C-alpha cells in the first residue's frame, strides 16, 4: 500500500503504521542474520518511502522538502528499525543519480531504486584510507568505450545487498584530491566481487562488506557526471549526507532519553525511584536541555538546507556536535539502566551500540573539526 503524502502529520502517522505492520515483526530476525531480506526494500518501495525527493517521472514522489526525510528517520528510530542502509540508498545514491545522471541513466536506474527492485550503495572508503578522497587507490583505466577498474573498498553499507554501487575511482593522476570520478558499477559486471558480511558491534540489520574489483569492465555510459570531477561532486553532496546522519543523532538521543525518563521513574533503589536522586535528576536535566538545543539546531539546519543555504562547514559543525552528543546521551542513559542497559537487546544497549558508529562514518569527528577550524582561518 503506497503512502500518500498530503501533510506532515498524516505522513508521520502513515510511516509509523506501515513500519509497525510490515517491518517491525521481521526486523529482529534480520538483525540476528545480519542482513535485511529483499522484501524489506520491496515493501519500502511499494509504500513510497524510497527516493521520495526523486520526481514522479522517475518513480519518486517529488517531495524535495527535507522535513519528510526527517520524519521517516524519526519513525525508523522509534520503531527500532535499521537506518544506515536507507540513508545510503535514499539520501546518498538516489540523490547523486538524480543530480548528476543524464536522462538515460535516470530512466535506467531511478525507477528501480524507488521501487526497491534495486538496492544502492556508495563506495568511497578503502582499506588504506578513510575520509580523505586524495588517498583513493582504486583505479579506472579508459579502454575505448569502457573502463577497467582495479582496487577495493571496505566498510560499505548495503555492500551485500547492493545491485548498484556508486564507486569513487582514480581516473587521472592530478593534484591532491583531483582526478577522482564516479562510476556506477552493477551487480553482475565481470571482475566485481564482494567479501563475506563484516560483523559489526551495532546496526546489525544493516549489511556491510568489502568490495573487490579485478579488471572490472564498466561501460563509459556508467560514468556519473564528468570525468575527474568526483571530488567536487562529493563536496556538493556531503551536506545532505551529514544532515542525514545528524538527523539520526538527534532522533536517537531524543528516543533513548524519553525511554530512560520513563525507566528511572519506575525503577527503585533504597526505597525510592532512581530518578529522584539528586545526581541523576541533575544529569537528566542537563541531557534534556542539550537534546532540546540539538533539536533547535537541527530544525534550523533543515530550514537552511531547504533554502539551498546549508554549507559544507554548516554540515561539519552539526554532524560533529550532534553525533558526539548522541554518544554522550547513549552512554549516560545506559548507565542509568544498570545491568539491563548492558543487555544487547535492551533499548539502551542497542542505542549505545548503534551510536558509536555515528562519529565515524560520513566524516570522523576529527576530520570535521579540521574542516571547521580551516573555516576560521586556522
Q: Is residue 59 part of a domain?
A: yes
Q: Is residue 3 part of a domain?
A: no
Q: What is the pLDDT of residue 254?
A: 98
From residue 362, give the alpha-carbon distance in Å to each of 1, 323, 349.
Answer: 33, 11, 23
From residue 133, give the alpha-carbon distance in Å to each of 101, 142, 177, 185, 235.
Answer: 21, 20, 6, 19, 10
Rounded Cα–Cα distance for residues 378 and 189 (Å): 46
Q: What is the pLDDT of residue 234?
A: 86
**Residue 141 · residue 185 · CB < 8 Å:** no
Q: Which range marks the domain in which residue 37 is found?
A: 8-119
Q: What is the pLDDT of residue 68?
A: 93
Q: Same structural domain for residues 126 and 113?
A: no
User: Exposure of 34 by Cβ count < 10 A (0-12 exposed, 13-18 middle, 19+ buried)?
Assistant: middle
Q: Is residue 1 part of a domain?
A: no
Rounded Cα–Cα distance for residues 159 and 5 (Å): 31
Rounded Cα–Cα distance for residues 237 and 122 (Å): 12
Residue 280 main-chain phi, psi, to 5 deg: -70, -40
Q: Same structural domain for residues 67 and 20?
A: yes
Rounded Cα–Cα distance for residues 181 and 251 (Å): 34
Q: What is the pLDDT of residue 132?
A: 66
**Residue 327 · residue 250 · CB < 8 Å:** no
Residue 20 is among the residues annotated as catalytic for this protein: no
Give the CA radius of gyration of the chain: 21
- CATH code of 200's domain: 2.40.110.10
pTM score, two decimals? 0.94
In terms of residues, how long is the chain? Answer: 378
Q: Which of 241, 254, 262, 366 is catalytic?
A: 241
**Residue 164 · residue 96 · CB < 8 Å:** no
Q: Same structural domain for residues 217 and 235?
A: no
Provide the residue-wise pLDDT of the chain in tens; the chain has 378 residues. 677 677 899 999 999 999 999 999 999 999 988 899 999 999 999 998 998 889 999 998 888 899 999 999 999 999 999 899 998 998 889 988 999 999 999 999 999 999 999 999 999 999 876 666 677 899 999 999 999 999 999 999 999 999 999 999 999 876 655 789 999 999 999 999 999 999 999 999 999 999 999 999 999 999 999 999 988 898 888 999 999 999 999 999 999 999 999 999 999 999 999 999 999 999 999 999 999 999 999 999 999 999 999 999 999 999 999 999 999 999 999 999 999 999 988 999 999 999 999 999 999 999 999 999 999 999
- CATH code of 363's domain: 1.20.140.10
Q: Pairing state of beta strands 120-123 and 164-170?
A: parallel
φ/ψ region of 356 (left if φ > 0, alpha if ψ in -120 to 50, else beta) reads alpha
Q: What is the pLDDT of residue 130?
A: 64
The alpha carbon dihedral of 223, 224, 227, 228 has a sign of negative
Rounded Cα–Cα distance for residues 157 and 160 (Å): 8
Q: Same structural domain for residues 44 and 113?
A: yes
Q: Same structural domain for residues 329 and 372?
A: yes
Rounded Cα–Cα distance for residues 312 and 89 (Å): 21
φ/ψ region of 309 (left if φ > 0, alpha if ψ in -120 to 50, else beta) reads alpha
- CATH code of 35's domain: 1.10.540.10
What is the grid cell recorded at 144?
575505448
- Helices then strands, each counted (H, E), the chain: 12, 10
Amino acid at each position: 500500500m503506497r503512502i500518500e503524502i498530503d501533510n506532515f502529520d498524516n505522513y508521520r502517522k502513515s510511516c509509523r503504521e506501515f513500519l509497525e505492520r510490515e517491518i517491525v515483526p521481521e526486523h529482529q530476525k534480520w538483525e540476528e542474520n545480519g542482513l535485511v531480506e529483499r522484501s524489506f526494500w520491496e515493501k519500502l518501495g511499494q509504500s513510497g518511502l524510497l527516493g521520495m525527493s526523486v520526481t514522479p517521472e522517475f518513480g519518486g514522489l517529488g517531495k524535495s522538502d527535507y522535513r519528510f526525510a526527517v520524519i521517516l528517520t524519526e519513525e525508523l528510530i522509534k520503531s527500532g528499525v535499521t537506518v544506515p542502509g536507507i540513508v545510503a540508498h535514499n539520501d546518498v545514491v538516489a540523490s547523486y543519480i538524480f543530480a548528476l545522471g543524464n536522462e538515460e541513466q535516470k530512466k535506467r536506474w531511478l525507477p528501480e531504486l524507488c521501487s526497491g527492485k534495486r538496492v544502492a550503495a556508495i563506495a568511497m572508503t578503502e582499506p588504506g584510507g578513510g575520509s580523505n578522497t586524495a588517498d583513493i587507490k582504486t583505479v579506472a583505466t579508459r579502454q575505448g568505450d569502457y573502463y577497467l577498474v582495479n582496487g577495493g573498498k571496505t566498510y560499505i553499507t548495503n555492500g551485500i545487498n547492493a545491485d548498484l554501487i556508486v564507486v569513487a575511482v582514480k581516473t587521472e593522476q592530478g593534484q591532491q584530491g583531483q582526478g577522482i570520478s564516479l562510476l556506477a558499477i552493477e551487480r553482475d559486471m565481470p571482475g566485481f566481487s564482494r567479501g563475506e558480511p563484516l560483523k559489526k558491534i551495532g546496526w546489525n540489520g544493516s549489511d556491510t562488506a568489502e568490495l573487490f574489483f579485478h579488471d572490472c569492465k564498466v561501460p563509459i555510459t556508467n560514468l556519473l557526471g564528468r570525468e575527474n570531477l568526483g571530488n567536487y561532486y562529493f563536496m556538493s553532496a556531503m551536506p545532505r549526507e551529514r544532515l542525514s546522519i545528524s538527523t539520526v543523532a538527534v532522533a536517537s538521543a531524543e528516543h533513548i532519553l524519553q525511554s530512560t525518563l520513563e525507566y528511572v521513574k519506575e525503577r527503585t533503589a533504597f526505597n525510592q525511584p532512581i530518578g529522584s536522586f539528586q545526581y541523576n535528576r541533575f544529569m537528566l536535566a542537563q541531557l534534556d536541555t542539550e537534546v532540546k538545543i540539538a533539536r533547535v539546531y537541527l530544525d534550523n539546519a533543515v530550514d537552511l538546507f531547504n533554502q539551498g543555504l546549508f554549507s559544507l562547514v554548516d554540515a561539519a559543525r552539526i554532524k560533529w556536535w550532534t553525533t558526539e552528543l548522541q554518544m554522550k546521551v547513549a552512554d549516560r542513559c545506559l548507565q542509568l539502566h544498570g545491568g539491563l542497559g548492558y543487555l544487547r537487546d535492551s533499548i539502551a544497549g542497542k542505542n549505545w551500540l548503534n551510536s558509536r558508529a555515528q562519529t565515524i562514518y560520513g566524516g570522523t569527528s576529527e576530520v570535521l573539526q579540521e574542516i571547521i577550524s580551516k573555516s576560521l582561518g586556522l
